[in-house]
Amino acid sequence: MKQIFALLSGLVFGLGLILSGMANPAKVLNFLDVFGTWDPSLAFVMGGAIAVTAPGFALLFRYWNTPYFGNTFHVPTRSDLDPKLLTGATIFGVGWGLGGFCPGPALTALPVAATGTLIFVPFMLAGMWIARHTPDLALKRTAGAA
């Protein structure tokens, strides 16, 4: 049952990305081009997503102690900004700005071979692999200094 709901959630998410235009890199790049051909329509998509999600999370955490298909909720607990987070966010933003894709819409656009997707997705996957398999040098330096 857990896998069926995961599949349905992914299908709804993908359909939302397609309907909103986020699977179209030209639309995303026009949203990011504030001083050129700016297209504010994705701001309404984000606003709509926040308007639905915020009350949903508030109700979820108020009335449920554990998720239906798990033992615990997996939400961030840290509130500090470390160099690893800032570096990752910067690389993500630059990649999004250059490619016009973030990971979800890129995977959604892959089956239709949208322009640039066949280049972007392999590099995205390589970046994910590198991030997972590269030792965290900052943690090693901290542990060595103690």
- What confidence tens digit (pLDDT) does each residue in 73-85 have? 888 788 888 888 8
Long-range contacts of 132-140 (CB under 8 A, 24+ apart): 136/84, 138/82, 138/83, 138/84
Considering the entire predicted model, what is its pTM? 0.62
Average pLDDT, the chain: 82
Domain range enclosing 49 = 2-145
Of all residues in the chain, the percent with pLDDT exceeding 90 is: 5
One-character DSSP codes across 93-118: HHHHHHHS--HHHHHHHGGGT-TTHH
* Digit-coded pLDDT (tens) for 3-30: 898 899 888 988 888 888 877 778 878 8
Q: Is the pLDDT of residue 105 over 70?
A: yes
| Confidence category of residue 144, pLDDT binned at 50, 70, 90 | low
Nearest CA to 43 out of 25, 27, 59, 58 is that of 27
Report the SS3 class of residue 101.
coil
Number of domains within the chain? 1
